[in-house]
Amino acid sequence: QVQLAESGGGSVQAGGSLRLSCTASTYAYHRYCLAWFRQTPGKEREGLATIDTGTTLRAYADSVKGRFTISHSVAEKVLYLDLDSLNPEDTAMYFCAAASTLSGSCALTHSTYNYWGQGTQVTVSS
């Protein structure tokens, strides 16, 4: 069982930056897909970025490509998401997620992941 806990959310003005962190309690398997999602009320959870811990291969949604960066510290068991050039449309609850994998096929779909954090709120004002 992997427990995830996000931190680093907050309020920022448009054009600003934030770093989100997601700490894992343990890694019971050798290899994981790790990802960040976000959700606003009444909308589907949106996949933003994913990383394969085996290869460090990354993938991003078009909506955040070039502005957000996903990274991972194996030793510290911490997943990061650096958010730059924020705009009010980025306001949402941000979640980290994990799934053990053998193939490293890390999709940005909600159903891929079976471990989730509780979320951290990001609010961007204009």
- pLDDT at residue number 26: 77
- pLDDT at residue number 31: 87
Distance CA 53, CA 28 (A): 13
Q: Give me 51's structure tokens.
A: 């990383």
Indicate the pairing of strand 18-24 with strand 4-7: antiparallel
- pLDDT at residue number 67: 98
What is the total residue count of the chain? Answer: 126
- pLDDT at residue number 119: 97
Query: Which residues of the chain register pLDDT less than 50?
Result: none
- pLDDT at residue number 122: 98
Q: Which residue shows structure tokens 């979320």?
A: 119
